[in-house]
Chain A
Amino acid sequence: MTRMFFEADRPGPAMHALVIGVGGYAHLPHGGGRTIADPLRYGNLGQLTSPPRSALEFANWLRESDPIRWAAPLASIDLRISPAPADPDPGGPGVGFPDATIDSITEAYDAWKERCATDENNVAVFYFCGHGLQSEEQLLLASDFGRYEGNHFRGAFAFDSTRAGFLQRPPRTQCFFIDACREVVPGVTAPLGGATADPLDRPDATRRRRCDHDLTLQSSTPFATARSRPKNVSYFTAALIKALKGGAALTDEFADWVVRTDRIAMAIDSLVEAEAGRPMPTAKGPAFLPTVLYRLDGPPDVELTLACVPEPALGRATLFYEPQHSGRAVRTPPMPEKWKVTVKAGYYRIGAEFEDHTYDAVSRTELINPPTTAQTLRTVGR
């Protein structure tokens, strides 16, 4: 029995997460094991320092989030981490985790599947960060990819079929987050018949679909590389956590701020772009019907930017914003730069006043929504 990264004994529906971060690849260059012959056939695959840290960041955020705010309270997180040789202790000195070999991942997946199946109102969360390749489906590489010379892909699993298979398993709410490349390389597609890896699960032609609410996000499109910063959390994972923290929140009929599966899917691309500074579109799964994943305890943070047109007015404007039931915040003295502030989402009176009376004062009420809102105040010169 594997010791869980987090486990709580909770009656009734609960959330179960399996989090995998693969950075160390024993059989790729500089991995410490026997290196596969001709590794370039798989592109420039090497050791990765970001995935273990990204997986830990995601798992830690799940663990530290308020369990009762989830659609079903968090009950377990199983973690499989293979650190890169250049970053052997991503969890801190002396903190070790079960390795993310294909056997270990398969064992963890089967156990997680059983936990998920205990109640159809559970929430299943699967997270993978590491190397990925693209064949007729996405292939995700475990830390022992290349261990068997006869078929390197015995150390990998086929994601799309795995996902299709799990759709036919309980629970009704399922989230799969895949933060991996989808590069097409000669070693995957050149051999006759193409490379195939077994899935962790298989779909069945006669089995009913059990998933009603799907959130499947794959960080990179085919031929694209899931970019990240060495020894840092990847752009996709950082954006995903921001989305869950409230970047994808909206209010419901009770005026509660909630994070719904469809809103995450709709917001993730702009959140990733904000992290990476360039568009990095994600691939999205079947979705089905949306559901609330997480309820915030109040309005989320929003990055509000205030500006004026014509532009010279900004250097003369005393800008302000005023929340619905609170006092006014003012920027003084006037500055030529846009005013960027972090505020709580909600209605605001925003405006610009001009002490030198060069322009007419202007103000209006706006709903300031997460994750970012840019407002331009149109002013008229006197």
Chain B
Amino acid sequence: MSFHLNLRTHEQALRGVPVVVDVLDDGLHVVDQRTVRVNQRSSFDLPAGQYALQVTLPSGDRLTETVTSAPGSPDHDIALWEISPHESMQRTVVLKSGPAGGGRRFTEPGFQSLWVRLWTRVDGVWGVGAWPDAVAHWDDDAVAYVFPTGRRPHMLQIGGPRIPWRMVSLPAAEELEVTVQPAGDEQTPNVTLTVATEDNLAEATLGYLTAGAVTHAGLISDQAEDLLNRKTTNPAGAAVGGYFLLRTSSLERLHNWPRNLANWMQWMPDGALIHAWQLIREQQESREPVPARLDEARELLLVTVERGLPVYTEGLRLLVSGLKLFDFQAEGADPEIRDALDRIRPFVAAADLTQPTTSFLGSGPSVASTAPAYGLPRSRRGLAIVYDVAVADLVPLGLVEAGTSLWLNPPPVIGPAEAQMTPHGTVRLADGREFTDLFAAAAAANRTDIWYSWVAEDSGPLAFARDRARRGQLPPP
């Protein structure tokens, strides 16, 4: 007897994400625990009867369903889009903890003129680059960007008049997905920011580790060695695999790959750090520690600090722990270790250790701040507005000239609009956006957005100016 399970999605990028499922019989005994993959049919051979399926997503969220095992039972489908507020959010909701949608909207005053910019390190120097020509979705409860980061360190900076400036480390990816959501409350608005590479195995492993589900991470990460071995094609995934194997003390499964990661990917500090901790842990477990190996580990920790902050928060923790380990060993008398600790102390103090990638409050990649900065940067270089521009900022940002005449058009009447019903049950608008909610589809199709009703002389609806701001196309001062 058997039944079949499908975790269904119409988000292409989610296909194949490994997810852990527990099966309980009608007496509540756990009779099976295994990994299934999104959009792949999984068969469970179990005696006839009623079962409960407990699906633990990498985000840490748990879905519970009951199912009957009987001859000819139809497939049991779990629609992952039902837990996501938007089609564009499905991958984030499945993989990342936190973005549950707290009911806040970007249209609220606290989120006006919220901005982002992208910092890149080239030849050891950080600078703001042009805002990438990203694929983007702007919804009033979530904004998602997809852009490549390539083989060099990147940090995203986000801030606003009421949102403290924050730096977020971005892993190397061909297609990095960044999602920003409004959070906090009216008095203290904040944002939730998640980043995900295109590597589903690495992201699912990171998700389970962040949620505290090490066993689940272990179940899907039989291929953790594969992740690490793919270091040349996917260095960020290799780092995640390395951190997982360190966390589970699977030292023999690390092989000599951390050394290669450290040597071949010098732009990514995590490689040297993972190698340092591989050596430390090996010596700690050894009956006869070799001092030279510990010296090498010490050197690698110093190299890590020279290369910059680790991409992942797990790395930041390990970096501090490692440096303190050698600081204690030297009774505080090792000036190089002390200097390294002094260099990273402000970043650790300002870091948010609940985030998967290194995040800290700061006015730039090299400056962590204990007194958070607020407002718009004076420099407009590479600046993109996340959702709405505060009306007071339209002139200072050069989006509308002072003295420009405005007039108000009545909001458009609902309909008509063209759309198509898709095979997977969504309404697809002419511009390609898909919706499961007819009202949301109608609102989006008709642009019932007051920014389209206010029209500026010469430059058209204010929405056009806002759109330029969102795409990082602010005019030079």
Residues of A that sit less than 8 Å from B by CB: 134-137, 160-161, 164, 168, 184-186, 188-190, 193-194, 202-209, 221-223, 250-255, 262, 265-266, 269, 278-279, 281-284, 286-290, 324, 346-347, 364-367, 369, 373
Tell me which residues across on chain A come within 8 A of B215, comparing CB atoms.
262, 289-290
B312-360 at interface with A (beta carbon < 8 Å): 320-321, 324-326, 328-329, 341-342, 344-346, 348-354
Q: Are B370 and A186 in contact (CB under 8 A)?
A: yes
Looking at chain A's contact residues, the main secondary structure is: loop
Q: Are A281 and B98 in contact (CB under 8 A)?
A: yes
Partner of A266, one of B60, B185, B247, B329: B60
Q: Are B24 and A367 in contact (CB under 8 A)?
A: yes
Tell me which residues across on chain B come within 8 A of A190, comparing CB atoms.
370
Cβ of B14 < 8 Å from any Cβ of A?
A: no
- Beta-carbon nearest neighbor of B33 in chain A: A253
Q: Are A184 and B284 in contact (CB under 8 A)?
A: no
Q: Are B30 and A161 in contact (CB under 8 A)?
A: no
Partner of B354, one of A283, A287, A288: A283
Q: Are B351 and A205 in contact (CB under 8 A)?
A: no
Q: Are B28 and A206 in contact (CB under 8 A)?
A: no
- Beta-carbon nearest neighbor of B68 in chain A: A365
Q: Are A194 and B345 in contact (CB under 8 A)?
A: yes
Q: Are A137 and B102 in contact (CB under 8 A)?
A: no
> Given known contacts A266-B60, A287-B214, is B28 in contact with A255 (CB within 8 Å)?
yes
The distance from the CB of B58 to the nearest CB of chain A, in whole angstroms, is 12
Cβ of B422 < 8 Å from any Cβ of A?
A: no
Looking at chain B's contact residues, the main secondary structure is: mixed
> Given known contacts A185-B370, A204-B329, A266-B212, is B30 in contact with A164 (CB within 8 Å)?
no
Among B27, B28, B342, find the residue whose CB has the most chain A CB atoms closer than 10 A: B28
Q: Are B328 and A222 in contact (CB under 8 A)?
A: no
**What are 17 contact pairs spanning A and B, CB under 8 A?**
A136-B348, A164-B325, A168-B284, A186-B370, A188-B349, A193-B342, A194-B349, A203-B325, A205-B284, A206-B289, A265-B212, A266-B211, A282-B354, A286-B247, A288-B214, A365-B66, A366-B66
Among A194, A206, A324, A346, find the residue whose CB has the most chain B CB atoms closer than 10 A: A206
- Beta-carbon nearest neighbor of A190 in chain B: B370
- Beta-carbon nearest neighbor of B214 in chain A: A287
Q: Are A255 and B27 in contact (CB under 8 A)?
A: yes
Bound Cα distance from A190 to B324, whole angstroms: 20
Tell me which residues across on chain A come within 8 A of B6, comparing CB atoms.
none
> Given known contacts A205-B329, A221-B353, is B214 in contact with A262 (CB within 8 Å)?
yes
Tell me which residues across on chain B come within 8 A of A283, comparing CB atoms.
353-354
- Beta-carbon nearest neighbor of B360 in chain A: A222
The distance from the CB of B67 to the nearest CB of chain A, in whole angstroms, is 10
Among B212, B289, B321, B349, find the residue whose CB has the most chain A CB atoms closer than 10 A: B212
Bound Cα distance from A204 to B354, whole angstroms: 26
Partner of A203, one of B324, B346, B353, B372: B324
Bound Cα distance from A221 to B190, whole angstroms: 14
User: Given A137-B320, A254-B29, list of 19 further CB < 8 A pairs?
Assistant: A164-B321, A168-B284, A185-B370, A186-B370, A189-B370, A204-B329, A205-B280, A205-B325, A206-B289, A222-B350, A223-B352, A223-B372, A266-B60, A287-B247, A324-B26, A347-B26, A365-B50, A365-B66, A367-B64
Q: Are B50 and A160 in contact (CB under 8 A)?
A: no
What sequence of 0s and 1s flags, for each residue 65-103 of chain B, a beta carbon within 8 Å of any chain A beta carbon?
010000000000000000000000000000001100010
The distance from the CB of A374 to the nearest CB of chain B, in whole angstroms, is 11
- Beta-carbon nearest neighbor of B97 in chain A: A269
Bound Cα distance from A81 to B284, whole angstroms: 36
Q: Are A184 and B370 in contact (CB under 8 A)?
A: yes
Partner of B324, one of A161, A288, A347: A161
> Given known contacts A206-B283, A287-B212, is B64 in contact with A137 (CB within 8 Å)?
no
- Beta-carbon nearest neighbor of A163 in chain B: B321
Q: Are A262 and B66 in contact (CB under 8 A)?
A: no
Bound Cα distance from A319 to B52, whole angstroms: 22
Tell me which residues across on chain A come within 8 A of B283, comparing CB atoms.
205-206
Tell me which residues across on chain A come within 8 A of B325, comparing CB atoms.
164, 203-205
Bound Cα distance from A278 to B249, whole angstroms: 36
Closest A-B pairs by Cβ, 9 of them: A265-B212, A367-B52, A136-B345, A255-B28, A251-B28, A255-B29, A136-B348, A206-B289, A287-B214
What sequence of 0s and 1s flags, for each residue 1-37 of chain B, a beta carbon within 8 Å of any chain A beta carbon?
0000000000000000000000010111111000000
Q: Are A205 and B326 in contact (CB under 8 A)?
A: yes
The distance from the CB of B360 to the nearest CB of chain A, in whole angstroms, is 8
- Beta-carbon nearest neighbor of A366 in chain B: B66
- Beta-carbon nearest neighbor of B291 in chain A: A206
Among B24, B62, B342, B354, find the residue whose CB has the most chain A CB atoms closer than 10 A: B354
Q: Are A223 and B361 in contact (CB under 8 A)?
A: yes
Q: Are A222 and B247 in contact (CB under 8 A)?
A: no
Q: Are A253 and B30 in contact (CB under 8 A)?
A: yes
Q: Are B361 and A279 in contact (CB under 8 A)?
A: no
Tell me which residues across on chain A come within 8 A of B31, comparing CB atoms.
253
B179-229 at interface with A (beta carbon < 8 Å): 183, 185, 211-215
Partner of B212, one of A206, A262, A279: A262
The distance from the CB of A301 to the nearest CB of chain B, in whole angstroms, is 16
Cβ of B371 < 8 Å from any Cβ of A?
A: yes
Bound Cα distance from A63 to B112, whole angstroms: 52
Among B27, B62, B214, B351, find the residue whose CB has the most chain A CB atoms closer than 10 A: B214
Partner of A189, one of B26, B326, B349: B349
Q: Are A204 and B214 in contact (CB under 8 A)?
A: no
Bound Cα distance from A65 to B477, whole angstroms: 67
- Beta-carbon nearest neighbor of A161 in chain B: B324
Bound Cα distance from A203 to B60, whole angstroms: 31
Tell me which residues across on chain B come within 8 A of A193, comparing CB atoms.
342
Among B97, B185, B284, B329, find the residue whose CB has the most chain A CB atoms closer than 10 A: B284
Q: Are B329 and A186 in contact (CB under 8 A)?
A: no
Partner of A206, one of B294, B353, B354: B294
- Beta-carbon nearest neighbor of B56 in chain A: A266
Cβ of B233 < 8 Å from any Cβ of A?
A: no
Cβ of B248 < 8 Å from any Cβ of A?
A: yes
What sequence of 0s and 1s flags, for each residue 162-190 of chain B, a beta carbon within 8 Å of any chain A beta carbon?
00000000000000000000010100000
Partner of A194, one of B28, B247, B342: B342
